Structure 1
Amino acid sequence: MADVITVMNLGWQYAPLLEGGQPVTGLSNVSCYVPEGYFTGVVGPTGAGKTTFTRALAGVIPHMLDGEMSGFVRIAGMNVKSTSVANISRKVAYVSQNPQWQLFASTVEEEIAFPLENRGMPLDEMKKHVDDVMDRLHIAGLRHRDPTTLSAGEAERVAIASALVAQPDVLVLDEATAALDADGKRDLFAAIADMRRTRKMAVMLVDQDTSGMARWADSIFLLVNGEIIRRTTPDIFVREQALLESVGVVTPQPDDQAPSWAVEKDRPADVAIDLSHVSVDYPDALPGQAPALNDVSLEIARGSFTAVTGGNASGKSTLVRLFNGLVRPSHGSVTVAGRKVRRKSVGQMARVVGYVSQNPDEQLFCKTVRDEIAFGPQKLHLKDDEVRRRVNEMLGLFDLYAIEDIAPSSLSYGERRAVALAATLAMHPDILVLDEPTAGLDRRLSGRLLNILARLNREGTTIVMVTNDRVAIGRHCSHVVRLDGGNLVESGRIVPVSATTRGKDGGRAA
């Protein structure tokens, strides 16, 4: 069986972004081979070099980023160093950690059709391919939507569809399941399996969620500190579970190990966030299109740790963006800490509500990690000694001292998420809102973050966290809000399932 990917002694150093700074090592002496048709999973801790590795396979490195490459990469018969990204993309489809970066067309249908248009495919044949991949990923209903209006999960599905439609020789996915709900993950793996049956497409998947690759992958690469230290098979998740967990890789766990809990209706005596009949319409909504949120009335208790759950496009991100004014209601009112949000600017609300979005790049703009964390406290006009104390506290909590003088833009996705979280926590907000905060973080960092949030909550901070992680909800959250299709389905206090009768009115086992 021929190798479709050959990597020999690959090294990459990112160019210093600060004058007089040192290059940042992304990869060191990486060598591997992937046969055609193979599904390879790539695992490793945050900052291990996984994203850098996928960029090298797609030609982003060395053609689109500053730095120095050593060694050799051949993919689908092309030498990456001497082949343009445009030519590589004819055989290699790449979905990055942030799919919004890759979406630029005016409608979803045009976005998915673009790779086929570039190849001059006849219109009738193109339409057949586009319809087929949209059906596979269950996104036909998004056909005429503007990609900029999509939720993170919807954007991920569209980016994957755009990659699959061209039937590439190699599919490279960097954290492609992070924003997908359970249905989206099933659709992705089913589509990949079907394409591998009909053609010898190789798949390279980087993911913190190892459950899919444990079932579907042929081989596993373990990356640590920029080097592949294991080239093995999926039984590593059982055979070397202790090693994986020691470096921060989450190994697949049986569903029955997740804590069981139920939801009981609860009317808080002290309300931190109050929504009254709130609806949010999509910008440039199509005729008959349902709103992003539909007549939601909700009270979130002061001092609670509330999880916001639901599938892709259920309205989770829209809901939490109401709390600091990033989204304004089309109808109804939002009151946070006694303030009518409609009358306040985002800057004014930032003094009360600390918000961390799904995309850390929306929040990072300073020259160094230290400057990024200091920015918020400085805007609060704190004394220099207090600013330094808070910065050092966050550097220690998130283990960021080794990268404190590095530009956030040069960090891995997981590291950028950690910096965005640290920068928000440094402001000590009364209400902390986090949208999928553990996505892209390894086991070590996600566990540390959840423990930090639990401690802050015990000290009085009201926390709202968008997540579908049932284990995290059961272990750390006091309340839950569940959305579906923009509608509030359920809200209330979380109780152990043993303390409630299954099926009893007012409680639903989760």
Structure 2
Amino acid sequence: MQVHKGWEQPIIEIENFSFSYEEIDKQPLLDGLDVTLNPNEVTLLMGASGSGKSSLALCLNGLYPEAVEGISSGDIFFLGKHIQDCERGELTQKIGIVFQDPESQFCMITVEDELAFTLENRKIPASEIFGKIESVLKAVGMQRFIHHKIHELSGGQKQKIALASVLLLEPELLILDEPTANLDPVSSLEFIELVEAIQEERQMSCLIIEHQAEDWLRLIERVLVIGMDGKLLADDAPDRLFSEQQRLLEQEGIFLPEEYSGGFEGRKRYNQTVPAEKTVLSVRDLSFSCKNQNVLNNINIDVLAGELIAVAGENGAGKSTLLQLMAGLLEPDAGDIFLFDRPLKKWRENKLRKHMGFVFQNPEHQFITDTVYEELTFGMKCNGYTEAEMENAADLWMGQFGLREHRDNNPFALSGGQKRRLSVATVLDVSPDILLFDEPTYGQDAATTTELMDYVMELKAMGTAIIFVTHDMNIVDAADRAIILKQGGVAFSGVPDTLWKKTKMLYEARLRKPARLRQNRRESHVYDIIH
């Protein structure tokens, strides 16, 4: 059911629109979409990972299909004008996109230069540039960072600068593509509150692409759902959709907000097996610095066989660095790491990788081949698997993670969610003694998250130690032990149920309680977390 606001002209009209990446695709990625987006309306776009949500956003602002040599049919109108009749660059200014990874849209080194670059492209007079930069930085709460280098900012700060850059375009439609996926829980809430305030002030239309709707509920007026078949499955008000269409949403692998589901199956509390008293990995007096800045100081951790540990903390707390040190990808300045009582630095690389698997935060950092199949079988080939064994194992993982139809595709051509699933699958060809995951569930739909967690729990039951670096408090809630990093040290190490009672420490570490411990929409504002 499409919602129209009076007789105002729609911002976007999509009529029987289809899109494919290649002529040989059996099924269009987007198939016969009919959608209208209205002025001053906040719309949530949902769908399973790989259903074409980001591709649709890039079609709306005219970058696709040309940029990827794709194929489209049907029509898209912007304020009544067919997008094919718009001048080059016109739509990218009027329809601004903030991507999941803000670094992908930065061109310059400093905040000031990045924002000035945007204004120069708009041919804004030099005399007006500084004033506009000051104004937009004030709007996003980043005035004092004007001279900072972008790479030195936290994840949340980078996302605010990405938003500021888009706001300088003065767009009619703002598209946010999973903008909080890489942010710690408090930074995520702060960003949502910022978007809410800016939208109310500027009366912009907003299209938000997001897997988890919970914290956006107070903003959104409509929810669109794209199915895995590329068709529009739903267009309705949030309360009606989440109340009356739960079966449809669960079939499509879409997260239901906690207040509507009572806890989606993918976020359930698992019945834990007691970890064996066998130490797999030991971290002793570990310290590490980068560019003369201390990142980690005097870290001590023991990891037991069959234990699931969740490592959490704010952006920049050193979580990914700790994981890379544990994996032997970085060398500590001081201290030692032991795998089965043997110093990590004394392990040969090929032997180490048989005992330990590592999944990077950025999936592209671990891709080394030209096809999905080759990526899945590369490790197997190195370990002496036969062709038949590799074929069977690869087919199993491609089926498990929804990648069969992408068997011969280049890993770099996959969607963000598909890349993440492939990166996880590549370390599951054997059952190592310890698996290290850096944000394995970000950008994933409910079905894939559930499958991953179920498989992780199977490995755990067989004695594999699992370490997750995560911002997802529901994942932390399912762990045997939570480790919270703050200011370079371990601020907490213990069972999650004890962690949730430490309200002050949670907020200082920019974390929050899991969904099961919140009442309806309470704690959906930063103020509510503090009080």
User: TM-score under structure 1 normalisation?
Assistant: 0.85
* SS of the residue 1:488 aligns to: strand
Q: Which of residues 249, 252, 256 in structure 2 aligns to 1:247?
A: 252
In 1, distance between residues paired with 2:16 and 2:50? 19
- Equivalent residue in structure 2 for 1:2, among 9, 18, 34: 9
Gap change, CA 1:502 and 1:370, over 3 Å in 2: closer
Partners of 2:84 and 2:342 lie apart in 1 by 56
Residue pairs, 1:220-231, within 5 angstroms? 220-224=223-227, 225-231=229-235
Q: Which stretch of the first structure deviates more once superposed, 381-390 or 226-235?
A: 381-390
Partner-residue secondary structure (3-state), 1:179: coil
Q: CA deviation at 1:80?
A: 3.3
Give matches, 1:299-338, under 5 Å.
299-338=302-341
**Which has the larger displacement, 343-352 or 243-252?**
343-352
Within-5 A mapping of 1:199-214:
199-214=202-217
The residue number in structure 1 matching 2:42 is: 39
Query: What is the aligned partner in structure 2 of residue 106 from structure 1?
Result: 109
Q: Equivalent of 2:243, from 227, 238, 247?
A: 238
Q: Tell me the distance in 2 between the aligned counterparts of 1:408 and 1:178.
A: 21
* Separation in 1, partners of 2:382, 2:190: 45
Partner of 1:363 in structure 2? 366
Q: What is the SS of the residue equivalent to 1:101?
A: helix
Partner of 2:288: 280
* Percent of aligned positions that are identical: 26
* Residue in structure 2 matched with residue 156 of structure 1 by the alignment: 159
1:489 is aligned to 491
Change (3 A) 1:384 1:171: same
Aligned partners of 2:9 and 2:79 also within 8 Å: no
| C-alpha deviation, 1:76, in angstroms | 5.3
Contact in 2 for aligned 1:309/1:466 (Cα 8 Å): yes
**Aligned match of 1:398:** 401
State the AA in 2 paired with 1:47. Answer: G
CA shift in 2, pair 1:66/1:378, >3 Å:
same
For 1:326, what is the secondary structure of its paired residue?
Answer: coil
Amino acid at match of 1:391: A
Question: Which shows bigger deviation, 111-120 or 49-58?
Answer: 111-120
The residue that corresponds to 2:414 in the other structure is 411
- For the 8 Å contact 2:431–2:459, the answer to whether it is kept is no
Count of matched residue pairs: 488
Deviation of 1:199 after TM superposition, in Å, equals 2.1
User: Tell me, what secondary structure is at the counterpart of 1:350?
Assistant: helix
- Which residue is 2:475 aligned to? 472
- Higher mean displacement: 79-88 or 306-315: 79-88
User: For the structure 1 residues 153 and 319, does the alpha-carbon distance in structure 2 shift closer, same or farther, using more than 3 Å as the test?
Assistant: farther
What are the Cα deviations for residues 112-152 of structure 1, in whole angstroms up to 9, with x where unaligned? 44322323446675445444554555556765554445565
After superposition, the C-alpha distances for 1:32-63 in whole angstroms (9 at most, x for unaligned) are 11112111100111222111111111322023
User: CA deviation digits over 1:303-333, x for unaligned, max 9?
Assistant: 3111011122222222212122333334433
Deviation for aligned residue 1:180: 1.9
Question: Matched residues in 2 for 1:328 and 1:131: separation?
Answer: 41
CA distance in 1, matches of 2:159, 2:440: 17
Matched-pair contact (CA < 8 Å) for 1:136–1:187:
no
Provide structure 2 residue ranges, at least 5 long, that are not aligned to the other structure: 1-7, 503-511, 514-531
Partner of 1:117: 120
Residue 245 of structure 1 aligns to which amino acid in structure 2?
E
Which amino acid letter does the alignment assign opposite residue 105 of structure 2? Answer: Q
Please name the residue that 1:506 is paired with.
none
What pairs up with 1:28-177 in 2 under 5 angstroms? Answer: 28-75=31-78, 79-83=82-86, 86-121=89-124, 126-131=129-134, 133-134=136-137, 137=140, 145-148=148-151, 152-177=155-180
RMSD: 3.3
Structure 1 alignment gaps of length 5 or more? 504-508
SS of 1:351's partner is: helix
* Pairwise CA distance, 1:163: 2.2
CA drift of 1:271 comes to 3.0
Instruction: Write out per-residue CA displacement over residues 341-366 of structure 1, whole angstroms, 9 at most, x where no aligned residue.
Output: 45668766433321112222222343
Maintained 8 Å contact 1:27/1:226:
yes
C-alpha distance in 1, partners of 2:55/2:247?
A: 26
Q: Cα–Cα, structure 1 residues 387 and 260, in superposed 2: closer, same or farther, change >3 Å?
A: closer
C-alpha change, 1:160 and 1:12, in structure 2 (3 Å) is same
Structure 2 contact 287–333 (Cα < 8 Å) conserved:
yes
What amino acid maps onto 1:491 in structure 2?
S
- Structure 1 residue 255, shift from structure 2 partner: 11
Contact 1:50 1:223 in 2 (8 A): yes
Secondary structure of 1:216 counterpart: coil
CA separation of 1:502 and 1:22: change in aligned 2, threshold 3 A: closer
1:193 and 1:461 map into 2 onto residues whose CA distance is 43
